[in-house]
Every structure is written in C-alpha cells, then in structure tokens.
Amino acid sequence: MTDAPWLVLLGGLVLAFVGGELFLRGVVGFAAWLRIPKALAAATLGAFATSSPEVSVAVNAGLAGEGAVALGDALGSNIVNVGLVLGLVLCIGPLPFQMKEQRREFILALLVPLVVLGILADGVYSRWEATVSLAVFAFWLTLVARHAWRERSAPETQHVPRSGWIPLALSLAGAGLLALAGKFIVMGGTGLGQLFGLDPFFIGVTIVALGTSTPELATAVISKLRGHDEVGVGTILGSNIFNCLFIVGLTGVVAPFEVQPQDVAVSIGFGVATVLCLIPLRGQDLGRHRGLLLLALYAASIFAASLTQVK
C-alpha cells in the first residue's frame, strides 16, 4: 500500500470519521451508564482510544531505534490537537470551555511539556527518566479515577442505557477503526516524507503527528456537529497529557534515544502557546477568532519545524 501513499491517506481519513462517529456514541453512552460527566470520560477513555495510533508509533519506532520519530509524533500531535483540530472546530462554531471543570487537565497540559523539555535539555532521554514519566502518568490516572467516583451522579431513568455493553462495544469498535485509520495515515504520510528526504524528527512532528491526530480531529468535529462540545475539548486535553507522559515514556522504556534540544524546545513552545490560547478572556466561550489564532500558530509551528530542514 505504500506504493500509493495518497490512496492510503484517503482510506485512513474515511476510516477515521466512521470510527469517530461510533466512538463518540459509545463514550457518551458509557459516561451516562457510569453516571460520570462526559468531559471526564472524554479526558480519560477518549484520550486512551484516540491516542492508540501514537502508542503504535512509539513501540514500533522504539524497536526500530527511531525514538526521535515517536518524540516528534507526540509533541507534534499536541500542536495538531489544539492548533489544528480545535482551530478548525472553532471555525465551525464557538465552544464553551468550563475552566472550573477542567482546571486540572488544563494545568497539566501546560506543565507536563515543560517538564519534558527540562528532561531532554541534555539531549538524552534515558530509561529511568522514561520510567519516572510513566509513574507520573499512573499517578494522574489515579487522581482522575478518584475524581470520577466522587462525581458520579444519581441514577436517572431517561437517556441512560440499561446496559453498558452496547456503548462499550461501540467505543471499542470506533477505537479500533480510529487506530486503523491512524496506521494508514502514518504509513502514507511517512512514505511521502521519505520520498522527499525529510529527517526523522521532522517527519514525526509534522506528517506522522497529523496522521496520528486524525482520531482527535474526527472525534472533535463530530462532537461539535452532534452538540457534545465537552467531549471534544476533554479528549484533546487528556490526549496531550497522555502523549507527553505515556507515549514519550513508553518510547524511552523500549529504547532510550538522543534528540536535538533546540528542535524539541521549538515544538514544546508552540504546544504550550496553543494551550494558553484556550484561556477564556470574556465569558465562557471560545469563538471563531480564537480558532483563526490557533490555526495561525499551527501554521507557524510547521514553518519553524521546516527551518530545521535547511542545511
């Protein structure tokens, strides 16, 4: 299939939006069955599922000795998630952002990339540093699980599935299609990048990141069109935390790697800038002007990354 990368990309996009529709229905239904807020379910269950392509890239890249690709993918995906994905969604229509409900994930989405930058300042990501990242990720999951238990609401008789098996099955089916979509898009995109002679980190931070973020794009756009705004924002914030702690940590555990700190600093800087753009200035809504700003930041990040290709 790599002989026809454009066809592989097209097939991946189709699978992404079909999977996104199934996954959204499953997460919303499962959250109702568990009696937890949809935003909380999105930040955990949604982040796990939509980041499954990044997991595949992390393991395969680590085994192949290409940790820089996985790192670029994780950091680039964070920029894509907020800059491109939320930027496009906001151009469709405004989104409410309840800082009180998502303060913890918002703060972590800002701080965790800066911690990663500090770890990589020496240009090496060792196995023990990766282990610490995974431990912090496990601690975050524990906090989220405790929060979910406290936030469980009283049972309702309307709009609540009688069984959790159906929404769970929909979520798993959607997640499977999203993972397959991400794989197809990564295959096609990486093939194109290699044809043009691009280096591994640049391929990871641009082409691979765009491909593996397709599940977040599909989920966010479909959530917006279906009126489940909190699912899209929650999934993206959770996915960013997942990428920096679990994906990067998993890559380092599989195989420690070396990177260029200046390239990492540029990507993390743009990632943090896009998250800062989510702070509501007036009221609780993020409008179309914010979407245009996010898209501009995403475009600027691609331009900045392309400068590393100039020899």
Query: What angle (nearest 5°) sits at the alpha carbon of residue 100, between those of residues 117 and 222?
Result: 80
CB 207 within 8 A of CB 13: no
Q: Please, what is the Cα angle at 273 between 267 and 278, to 5 degrees?
A: 135
pLDDT of the residue at 229: 66
Angle of CA points 274, 278, 282, to nearest 5°: 140
Q: Show pLDDT as tens, one digit a residue, over the chain (311 residues).
A: 456 666 776 777 677 767 766 776 777 676 666 666 666 666 666 666 666 667 767 777 777 777 777 788 788 888 888 898 888 888 888 877 777 767 888 888 899 999 889 988 888 888 899 999 999 988 988 887 777 667 665 444 445 555 667 777 877 787 777 777 767 766 776 666 666 666 666 777 777 777 777 777 777 777 777 776 666 677 778 888 888 888 888 888 888 888 888 878 888 999 999 999 888 776 667 788 888 999 999 999 888 877 765 54
pLDDT of 304 reads 84
Residue with tokens 């529709």: 21
- Give the count of domains, the chain: 1
Residue 304 sits in a domain whose CATH number is: 1.20.1420.30
Write down the pTM of the prediction. Answer: 0.74
Give me the domain span that covers residue 70: 5-309
Closest CA to 70 of 80, 78, 62: 62
Angle at 39 between CA 34 and CA 41, to 5 degrees: 40
Long-range contacts formed by 137-145: CB under 8 A, 24+ apart: 137/241, 137/242, 137/245, 137/246, 137/249, 140/108, 140/241, 140/245, 141/44, 143/104, 144/40, 144/43, 144/44
pLDDT of residue 177: 78
